[in-house]
Amino acid sequence: MEMTQTSSDLLFLFAACCGLLIIATLVGEVLQARLHKTRANLTVETYLTRVHSWWGMVFLFSIALLVGPVGIITLFAFCSLAALREFLTLTTKTNADHWSLIASFYLILPFQYVLIWWGEVGLFSTLIPIYAFLLLPILSVLRGGEGADKNFLARISETQWGLMICVFCASYIPALVTLDIPNYGDRAPLLIAYLVFVIQMSDLMEYFTGRRFGRRKVAPAVSPKTREGIACGAAFAAALGLLLTWMTPFSPLASIAMAVMAYLVGVGGSLVLAAIKSDRGIKNWGHLIPGQGGFVDQLDSVVFAAPVFFHVTRYYYGG
């Protein structure tokens, strides 16, 4: 089979991620062997569980990207399903919302991804913000029943918010493959890898530096993130943006700007979702990814950044 440039680039990225993970795994195993039988090595155990989850995610994500648009769209459709389930589990709802919840899961979610598969930008960017926004409350009010007006605004808003974050925003990640960028050819899957890689790595950087040097918390009520940590994360995002320019249709400077923008929007997203968690009195959104919590925990920053990244790219680079 002849290998395209895009596939070989993706395989290169995959190998690079495996390299990083091998180092991470070795460090963890060595630490664990040293600490064995001495002090509590719960931190190391947690760290290793996380690394194992990372292995899984890297493999799944790489396979999906190599399969092409169908693979990546299917993968994210399932991620959306898991995320929406986590989100709507915690929202305000009554029996009167049964139809609108059914419609959210079984109609709107799959249809959004079908529209992305068809590449209908005009439709997939309006399905949830316009049609679902207007139609679901109608379903809830028509369904009626006893106490159907109780907390009505809170119920319809929270359902809509779940759809926006877990379906609409998340679907913009695979939507990047539908972008038709001149002189970029079929390299769009690389743009997805770029977005996810830059944000996740800079988040990790922010986490470690914030733990070490962080002083001034940006949102002390909900999150341990500090200005110092975020500054380091942004600097790291800039460096990665420059280093990974080859993956993108951007110029080196533009790539730095895009990486920093995506990272900062992502930080905002993870703060917003942390505030929701804190209000609902939970630590994690779910339990499906060992060591990391739920899908919403894993995707929080990327889903916030994806629509902005998509529309900015489309505005400046789209054909």
Contacts to another protein by CB under 8 A? 81-82, 85-86, 88-90, 92-93, 95, 98, 101-102, 105-106, 279-282, 286-288
Distance CA 116, CA 74 (A): 11
Closer CB to another protein, 227 or 280, in the complex:
280
Strands (E), the chain: none
Secondary structure element (H or E) that encloses residue 241, with its range: helix 227-243
Least CB distance to another protein at residue 98 (A)? 6
Least CB distance to another protein at residue 53 (A)? 16
Least CB distance to another protein at residue 276 (A)? 10
Distance CA 218, CA 273 (A): 14
Least CB distance to another protein at residue 151 (A)? 9
Closer CB to another protein, 137 or 249, in the complex:
137
Closer CB to another protein, 41 or 92, in the complex:
92
Residue 66, classed as helix, strand or coil, is helix
Closer CB to another protein, 86 or 228, in the complex:
86
Closer CB to another protein, 86 or 297, in the complex:
86
- How close are the terminal C-alpha atoms of the chain, in Å? 31
Least CB distance to another protein at residue 275 (A)? 12
For residue 40, with 0-12 CB atoms within 10 Å meaning exposed, 13-18 middle and 19 or more buried, which class applies?
exposed
- Kindly write down the DSSP assignment for every residue of 135-150, as one continuous string: HHHHHHHHH--TTTTT
